[in-house]
Structure 1
């Protein structure tokens, strides 16, 4: 955005008198009138088209009194139209028109935006125009758009109040990630890093399309026992060590404590993909998800609860095992169906989720590819959780220090005390 696409289109239009311009009707950022309108206030006549009715371009073109004189068709903001626009452009080309299309290539999550990339593949000439990065003092070209507020859908019409332009170095600093049910906030940069581990590139789109589980609800009940779950970038992160320290702390507070300490990957860790029997891994994934579901069903509502590895992260283990080739796609889809059929929505989300983060290497244990994928997938899930859920992020290095687990446990307890929850009357 803010690169001057519309300005460039107006420049072409003023030179080519035999050109007609179409624009999406939802683009009302500056005016409702049928004109192109730049961020600087420059205008040019245009015909408005419903974004879900791209065939209107043909109909409105045919109804123009000067149709015979028109040689060039320009379509602004092609990123806002559905796939039907491609067929319309092909028909215009068959009629002998020159077609000019302008649009944004990537959305704010760095994913393909509308029909821009498809039209680039059809074009004889592609002109890339970049804005300057919005980061203070940075003048680098900005190939990315960033959101200044949380977006629930890909298409949200806005101007400087909602969007900005960023270079590769400053995108992550400026961007506010959005969330929509069933949409994975996996960054392209994260996917690119996985290629270094030999991950098949086709899995990039697959990882974005997975319906990651966010079906447990956050409770608003004021009087309840603490429920804490511990996850992280991978296994061997210090989760069990922290869990034991939390149990000690809660018992010192005279709270009865119950624990679920089940981690399927603790039984499967180590080795390359070819060292694993797919059926063994598949059965283990199925077994541990079912076992954990049954363990949640046995929990008492009259005790504090600490869970090592949230059930959603067990699901993420299956995703990572699929990407590195330990289980097949067919096995994953069978697992996915069984996982959601269990009915996790009957259980509440934790009051506090502790997420242990590691450096890029993640773990000195093998296999690196699995751990790299798991890190990307777990963080994607973390970015999509209910924002009312309290998340405490902890660096693994802190847990490895002397009395590090005690320090983190004390922090978690303070976080719990700060929540709007009355627990004093629940003590033993």
Structure 2
């Protein structure tokens, strides 16, 4: 297979980004349709042993074809997709390292999108090796997104870089406070000394009465599995017939590990609206219905509030704060969703997964499979047929559908970090719900 053929394949593989725009004609679901689905109704051939092997072998062939390109414009153009595939398949990481390190010193003369892609690869795969090359590059990065990615990479390689970056940022970007990405970066460089407000108060907050809410509890750093809970339209958290709190493991980690204000970064912390459910054309999401969550700004104020009237003309912090309990309105980390919407992030969905979790065996989040910033639930697929056997995503979506009072599945999503170590446990979630009186 030549590189031109592999380029077509690579483009198809990279449709897996959660930020792929939703396509016209995608199947949309009412609550009743969603509740009627069974795992056996859904299949995805690429999850079978034969289908997955063919996909991986083609992707690895694509990687290797890009690795051996001679230096020049064709290789330069091939690098962004190369590193996306290397990260997704955990393949040829060492072989690709020299190409990234050779490219970094030239990024000052490249366009902002190429800078973004290659700096993201540095952060994802080679932060320690890349850091000495990024420091001299930093003054040449004149747009906020590449600069921020470079800064986060330096911080990942050496936490002591914060002092130097704290001085550089306002010198290079005097109007940094007007840029959502740089505002978030400065918050990282100057973290708040205040303690996190009581989580129980956030879990009990009405947001807007009469709507169901998914609460996704995650750890800082997102390197372990979190837990999703569902609060019904009456304000009570859903329990099973035995009275046990409903919880469902969920990963809010992106492959890049970048913060939520950066393209393809982690799921932002904060408040989203949910505007329905659908089946994606994205091959890494597969056929299990996603819940269509939207960030502030991505959703207009009226859409966010689920009202037909225009309402507020534009987003501001006061509108966002109106959804939060008073104790949380001065806590900067919970505003990451608003900053991410202002930074242009969109299509961060609540969805399932068709990527083989074996690619990430040995990680602290296995069997989670990180994608491009969405909230991802594990699914089990039959190795012989590719038919869905069990789906935490379908269970979560159906629990949410059953908790609402509307056929359009309108509601809300809160992503919030829970201090501590290790995967979030049902016992921790239960204690918080009990403290919230819900």
**TM bracket (short chain):** under 0.3
TM-score between both structures, scaled by the size of structure 2: 0.27
Higher relative contact order (CA 8 A, sep 6+): 2
| More helix as a share of residues | 2
TM-score between both structures, scaled by the size of structure 1: 0.28
